[in-house]
Structure 1
Amino acid sequence: MSFPWSYSVLGLVPGLILTIVIAGLVLYTSLLVWEFCLRHPEVRDVCDLGQMIFWNNRAAFYFTAVMFILNNTFIQGLHCLVGAKYLNTITNHSVCTIGFSAIMALISWVCSLPRTFSTLAKLATASAIFTFISVLLATIFAAIEDHPAGYNSGGLLVGEPIVRAIPMKGETFVNGMNAFMNISYTFIGQITLPSFIAEMKEPKDFPKALWAVTICEIVVFSIVGAVIYAYTGTQYMTAPAFGSISNPIFMKVSFSFMIPTLIFLGVLYASVSARFVFFRFFQGTKHAGSHTVVGWASWAGILAVLWVFAFIIAEVIPFFSDLLSLMSSLFDSFFGFIFWGVAYGRMRYADYGPGFYKTRGIRGWLGMALNVGLVGIGLLFLSAGTYAAVQAIIDGYAANSFGGAFTCQSNGIVV
């Protein structure tokens, strides 16, 4: 639901083009991850993969592990933040925001306790269905309403909705970069793929699921983003876009269907992190695969620590779109682009030798250029992206657009 806001900043045409381009790059790099994992079935997670990509350097393992845990914990924090936003919205701020964040963290901790991906797969299916219903309802409600929320309320919120095919003249680099990273963040998830592939009964079937998911993402994200933006306009757009629906009942109904996803995605990343820690401690012992008191107590304890840190992140960084951008710049730079550009070079070098890009003809040169470009995009995220995200946060605090850390102040949607 951040796509409509991104389109309002980038313009509809560039926004849709970037959606397709980013989806294509994520599809391509995910296939690289899959190929690398098939070559190295001993890989259990992205940390093992990171070590192997960077010439089996143990320092690369520890670097990847730190970034891996931080990325996943930030995502958990994001879901605590948005969960508190939902609870504040639906209850008209009946409890302090810090209390709602804690409730969300506790619920998510309980839901994280299953130790197998097979159990989480059932929750994932339900989550996907409810998310589709949520965004479909939000799109329909935005289209059938006479006016978006805040219509003609004064200041910049005046006039009919303005829809731009290209960016508004004078749009800032900071806003544009944050909008771009919002789109990227939604697609990029390669960090979890090695963990999934390692547990698949038939890893060779992975591309089928990947293609199906990518096609569905492009269709749903593009239509939802474009339609909601078209009926809401630049000046009335919010992130997430539920806040642009003027009818309180419509807004709360569509937002409510998102709850399974708000819980599940945080649970998924918590489970991946916990598995990394748990199996490093208990691999080869009876606690890893049996129902022992030590095993379950350790699993629950690891998850509890992760959710406590996620809760702290949600309270220290209490804003939605800028948190997305910050996470994208810091972590997606590596796990979305840089790692896989290097992985391509390592695999082709192993197959064809030092001059692989020469011996393969035009295919080799194009492949090399594409993957050097991937590394370049990652470096752009890490440098310009981080600058834009941090500057947006500084500007938001200067304008008093955010609540304070560990605050009782409501972050709910007000219509």
Structure 2
Amino acid sequence: MSFPWSYSVLGLVPGLILTVVVAALVLYTSLIVWEFCLLHPDVKDVCDIGKILFWGKNWAWYLTAAMFLLNNTFIQVYDTPPNELHRMLTARQGFHCLVGSKYLNTISNHGMCTIGFSAILAVVSFFCSLPRTFSTLAKVATASALFTFVSVILATVFAIIEEHPNGYDGTPPKVLIVPAVGTGFVAGMNAFMNISYTFIGQITIPSFIAEMKDPRDFPKALWAVTIAEVVVFSVVGAVIYSQTGTNHITAPAFGSLGSEIYKKAAFSFMIPTMIFLGVLYASVSARFVYFNIFTGTRHHGNHTLVGWASWTAILAATWIVAFIIAEVIPFFSDLLSLMGSVFDSFFGFIFWGTAYIRMRRAEYGPGFWRARGWRGVLGIVMNLALILIGLVFLTGGTYVSTSNYCCSTQVF
């Protein structure tokens, strides 16, 4: 629901092209992750991959683990509250405890303070995180995806049938086919990162593959998800943007709906997703800690009192820490944007370009790009480009995040 805003900055045509390009890059890198996991069946999570990629050094494992846990914890409770445009632009797009609390606060006409609602959602999410296998979470994920689909379709239909968008002042929607003259680097990079953050999620793939009955089936799900994402994101983004235009768009686009009834009806279907996405990252983090404590013991794969008590305690700790961080740090969304730029540069691009090079070198030798002919040349060029894109994320994203923080501080 933030894609319409991205299209308003980038222009409709470049925005749609970038949507397809980013989706293709994430699909390609996800296939690299899958191939790497098949070659290394002992891999349990992205931290094991980090250690293998960087010459089996323990420091690589610990550094990857730190980024892995911080990434999951920071987006576990908070992504971006609705109707806070500046904060929405650079953060990941999702709906977890804090955004859920703001929604409940609005829908109940401020029946309780936001922190109270946030605490309630954190407790609910904690209990939803208790299943120790992804097979149980998969059922919740299916329901979450269905409700999210209903939400965005409702918002799209409402945008079409409404006579005027929110804030209509008699000026018809202004739809840009290409970026407006004078669009700066910070605005353009914000919009590009907004699209990219929505797709990037390779950090969890090794954990999923480790639990699959047959990991060779993973590409089927990956292709299905990617095609569905491109179709839904592009259609919803383009249609809503065409109805609201640059002059009436908000991020997320729920705020562009003129009717409060339409707005609340569409956004209400996001409630399961508010809970599930936080649950997913909490579960991945807890599994990482739990497995590293109990691998090789009878508590690992059995229902024991010690195992369940430890699992519950680990989950509780992750939710408590995430809740405290989200509520205590006053510049949390800006910090999240900065960390997203740093983490996604590695977990979205740099790791997987490096993984491809390491796999092909091990298979064909130091001159693998020559030994494989045109495929080798194309492969090395593409994966060096992936690493370069990651470096652009790391430098450009950091610059944009710090620029936005400075601007928000000056405005305040």
* Fold conserved between structures, TM > 0.5: yes
Q: AA paired with 1:124?
A: A
- Which residue in 2 is equivalent to 1:155? none
Is contact 1:178–1:388 with CA below 8 Å preserved after alignment? yes
- Which residue in 2 is equivalent to 1:409? none
Show CA shifts across 1:340-373 (max 9, x none). Answer: 0000000000111001111111111111011001
Q: Counterparts in 2 of 1:261-300, with a 5 A limit?
A: 261-300=273-312
| Partners of 2:409 and 2:235 in 1: CA distance | 33
| Partners of 2:319 and 2:409 in 1: CA distance | 26
**1:9 equivalent in alignment to 2:9:** yes
Residue identity over aligned pairs, in percent, reads 70
Query: Which of these residues, 354, 378, 399, is aligned with residue 390 of structure 2?
Result: 378
Query: Which of these residues, 148, 153, 165, is aligned with residue 165 of structure 2?
Result: 148
Change beyond 3 A, Cα 1:323–1:124: farther
- Which residue in 2 is equivalent to 1:24? 24
Is contact 2:326–2:332 with CA below 8 Å preserved after alignment? no
Q: AA paired with 1:216?
A: A
Is contact 1:81–1:318 with CA below 8 Å preserved after alignment? no
Q: AA paired with 1:17?
A: I
Query: Which of these residues, 279, 284, 302, is aligned with residue 314 of structure 2?
Result: 302
| Partners of 2:329 and 2:267 in 1: CA distance | 22
| Partners of 2:273 and 2:227 in 1: CA distance | 20
Question: What TM-score, normalized by structure 2, do the two folds share?
Answer: 0.92
Q: Counterparts in 2 of 1:40-119, with a 5 A limit?
A: 40-78=40-78, 79-119=96-136
- Which residue in 2 is equivalent to 1:120? 137
TM-superposed deviation, 1:44? 0.5
RMSD over aligned Cα atoms: 1.7
In structure 1, list runs of 5 or more residues that go unmatched: 153-157, 401-415
Is contact 1:26–1:336 with CA below 8 Å preserved after alignment? yes
Q: AA paired with 2:132?
A: R
| Partners of 2:377 and 2:25 in 1: CA distance | 18
- Which residue in 1 is equivalent to 2:357? 345
Question: What TM-score, normalized by structure 1, do the two folds share?
Answer: 0.92
| Partners of 2:154 and 2:337 in 1: CA distance | 26
**1:188 equivalent in alignment to 2:200:** yes
Show CA shifts across 1:159-212 (max 9, x none). Answer: 222111111222232221111111111111110000010110010011011001
Change beyond 3 A, Cα 1:318–1:11: farther
Q: AA paired with 1:353?
A: G
Change beyond 3 A, Cα 1:176–1:393: same
Change beyond 3 A, Cα 1:76–1:145: same
TM-superposed deviation, 1:95? 1.5
Is contact 2:71–2:340 with CA below 8 Å preserved after alignment? no
Is contact 2:338–2:398 with CA below 8 Å preserved after alignment? yes
Q: AA paired with 1:58?
A: N
TM-superposed deviation, 1:397? 3.3
| Partners of 2:236 and 2:278 in 1: CA distance | 23
- Which residue in 2 is equivalent to 1:365? 377
TM-superposed deviation, 1:317? 6.1
Q: Counterparts in 2 of 1:205-216, with a 5 A limit?
A: 205-216=217-228
- Which residue in 2 is equivalent to 1:406? none
Show CA shifts across 1:257-276 (max 9, x none). Answer: 11111111110110000000
TM-superposed deviation, 1:102? 1.6
Show CA shifts across 1:213-232 (max 9, x none). Answer: 00000000001111111111
Is contact 1:80–1:310 with CA below 8 Å preserved after alignment? no
Q: AA paired with 2:66?
A: V
| Partners of 2:168 and 2:334 in 1: CA distance | 24
TM-superposed deviation, 1:85? 2.4
| Partners of 1:322 and 1:9 in 2: CA distance | 20
TM-superposed deviation, 1:325? 4.2
SS of the residue aligned with 2:210? helix
Is contact 1:185–1:324 with CA below 8 Å preserved after alignment? no
- Which residue in 2 is equivalent to 1:33? 33
Change beyond 3 A, Cα 1:359–1:54: same
Is contact 1:108–1:267 with CA below 8 Å preserved after alignment? yes
TM-superposed deviation, 1:318? 7.1
- Which residue in 1 is equivalent to 2:235? 223
**1:247 equivalent in alignment to 2:259:** yes
Q: AA paired with 1:13?
A: V
| Partners of 1:316 and 1:364 in 2: CA distance | 50
Query: Which of these residues, 334, 349, 374, is aligned with residue 346 of structure 2?
Result: 334
The number of residues matched between the two structures is 395
Is contact 1:274–1:303 with CA below 8 Å preserved after alignment? yes
Is contact 1:182–1:324 with CA below 8 Å preserved after alignment? no
| Partners of 1:243 and 1:323 in 2: CA distance | 24
| Partners of 2:363 and 2:354 in 1: CA distance | 14
